Structure 1
């Protein structure tokens, strides 16, 4: 630096300075990579290891089309709840009432449909509305009255578990008979038509590829930072390979009747449809940007004119609405609603988001993380089931994976904080 001050107009010094800046940039990029700017790479590698291990130890049974179809349907409830959890975690908050709210909404739907004969669409809408109302109440206590979210949602979990017992009136299980509700996820024939199951994802992928290319050209014209050609190709090719590969597997899943092929399950299509909508909302709308801003620094967001109270209420409302939808899909798949609330569903949804890369400290993560996290959680459960392992082993393994994910998140945050303070 002293040479630059003494000879500011020297050509050799200028060249040396350029080299020095280039070396610094390379070192900084490598440092950022090591501090956690790896994107989904660690999660994808973890998923690959899980798949490889269970494929080998189950003699290939894990990757059979029928088992993969079952796996995707099993993770739908975790994934949909995980979408709501992701929004809450982006604010740096937590919601422990997901499983109770989802079961309560399913019981409301079942009671209205089976006991009162209400139209199935009205019954399902009422269940989702009840879930949204539960989240709205949570949001009022948390955002307006400033009660910690841990306490509010824990109390809600206990309260809604009691309410659903009251609605069932001592009945432990209520069978759902309505064909509309059951056909969503509960029968061997609850699958999309082939033209829609293959065509819709392909059209979406083509639009996604076109958007990536247009965005790249627009940023280049404006002189903004653009992706490398390799990165652009990877961003387009990887989703194509994964999505079309999954569809190919699902379309070749044999059914129980005359060797027919089943295709894409309705529940899986609903999950990915909601995922796509939420991704667009979180990345392309003012609301999504405000959620990240509030989670990153609430006080700064408030001073910037963002209605923090409104954002927090809406997020908790959406979270519980997603839980209600997940509960209804679970009831459809089981063709019944039960009085028992899953003791692990809430923690699995939180684990799926965190394992996928959503920070517990707020402000960092994406809704796509839920897919990878849910696949890891569901893959562990499914693989251990194939190996005839008990609940004790499954919960121990899931607990270890969750601790590792949270530890990694904390270490990344600490490294980034040291880097920021050192500049």
Structure 2
């Protein structure tokens, strides 16, 4: 300890004397110390953030890379970045619902219905792709809004009402598809290009990486200014710079790996833009604050004169919209729509992705980026199992185990927050 204190005092003296290298080292050291102190405070209060899921993801990647050297190859990582998009978009909608402490069980059926509406309108009736796409997304929005309004008015738990919706929208999808059962999409069409188009120029991926890092720094800095003006707790500039630098490293490494295969996938770009936009909507707008407030307690929200019916309707409508968009991406991946669209483990994976990523089942805590991290974990397990020829049964067991661990961590975190008066 004494040696450390002496070194720190020497660094401070060198920095004060104008040594540039000492100043840089001192600034980085202070930034790391601030970050570590903030992390310890959050851990003690039960606010674990995304650290547990990041550690799980790193473990999954290390294990599968040791089993098969192709797991972290540019080809596999590029395919992984596209495979997470369809279900990931649906999981983002689930995050909205979970923030209210509710659960939407109809998203799989809505995704299949939207894909069926698009396919039938475009292929069977000759409607332009852009028009069929808009109508398909609106169908998902309408389905979600009907469920949200019904939940708010009847005060029936969302998981019960959306369970009825699961059956209703699935039956409607079968009716839309008719006797044909399967509709093949145009392989050169707009929707097919959603998951098959790549920006092959290296500069596109690198520019996006720089934009991500710059956006993170700018948004964090502006948030710091607002909090400082309001005399609220805020991050230090060193912490903001360290966070933006870490994201820049991840972004540029990702860009480098993607450029080594086919370039930046259009699907991944759309996914990141949507997630970032919805994150800003949730965390930096009046609507987003209302969603978090309602998730913190319905009665308290009513006493605060919040429009509970309007918020619930909007949240379920957002979930339906994201389910419809996700369904179109899933249809794009296989260039067809069938009677099995939206079924299988799609619903379970979407919910698991949101929960594994850190969104609380108790409401009031989580971000859209939670769905991205959770989906990366689930799809990494799936990809690793495929590369190592592991049976599907083992994949389901491992995914279930990770989900169970996430739920336990969420419960323990909430208990810790209650002990500290934060829940």
Whether TM exceeds 0.5 here: the answer is yes
| Deviations 1:286-318 (CA, angstroms, capped at 9, x unpaired) | 000000000001111111111011000000001
Asked if structure 1 preserves the Cα contact closer than 8 Å seen for 2:294 and 2:301, the reply is yes
After TM superposition, give the deviation of residue 147 of structure 1 in Å.
2.1
| Residue 153 (structure 1) aligned to one of 139, 158, 162 | 162
Alignment correspondent of 2:293: 293
Consecutive unaligned residues of structure 1, counting only runs of 5 or more, are 1-25, 254-261
Alignment correspondent of 2:198: 191
Alignment correspondent of 2:61: 51
| TM-aligned CA distance change 1:214 to 1:32, over 3 Å | closer
| Residue 242 (structure 1) aligned to one of 250, 253, 256 | 250
Pairs aligned (count): 386
Mapped to 2, the partners of 1:316 and 1:39 lie a distance apart of 25
Moved over 6 A (4+): 26-29
Asked if structure 2 preserves the Cα contact closer than 8 Å seen for 1:384 and 1:394, the reply is yes
Mapped to 1, the partners of 2:37 and 2:119 lie a distance apart of 59
Q: TM-score, normalised by structure 1?
A: 0.86
Correspondence list, 1:107-118, <5 A: 107-118=116-127
| TM-aligned CA distance change 1:335 to 1:362, over 3 Å | same
Q: TM-score, normalised by structure 2?
A: 0.86
After TM superposition, give the deviation of residue 217 of structure 1 in Å.
5.0
Q: Which segment drifts farther, 127-136 or 160-169?
A: 160-169
Q: Which segment drifts farther, 385-394 or 209-218?
A: 209-218
Would you say 1:272 and 2:272 are equivalent positions? yes
Asked if structure 2 preserves the Cα contact closer than 8 Å seen for 1:186 and 1:335, the reply is no
Would you say 1:206 and 2:214 are equivalent positions? yes
| TM-aligned CA distance change 1:215 to 1:134, over 3 Å | closer
Correspondence list, 1:20-419, <5 A: 30=40, 32-58=42-68, 60-177=69-186, 179-187=188-196, 190-192=197-199, 194=201, 195-216=203-224, 219-220=227-228, 223-253=231-261, 262-340=262-340, 341-419=342-420
Consecutive unaligned residues of structure 2, counting only runs of 5 or more, are 1-35
| Deviations 1:391-410 (CA, angstroms, capped at 9, x unpaired) | 21111111111111011111
| TM-aligned CA distance change 1:229 to 1:155, over 3 Å | same
| Deviations 1:318-369 (CA, angstroms, capped at 9, x unpaired) | 1011000010111112111111032211111111111111100100111111
After TM superposition, give the deviation of residue 220 of structure 1 in Å.
4.6
After TM superposition, give the deviation of residue 39 of structure 1 in Å.
1.9
Mapped to 2, the partners of 1:378 and 1:121 lie a distance apart of 30
| Deviations 1:154-191 (CA, angstroms, capped at 9, x unpaired) | 1111111111111221223210116333443353xx11
Provide the secondary structure at the position in 1 that maps to 2:183.
strand
| TM-aligned CA distance change 1:61 to 1:193, over 3 Å | closer
| Deviations 1:189-216 (CA, angstroms, capped at 9, x unpaired) | x113534443244234323323333444
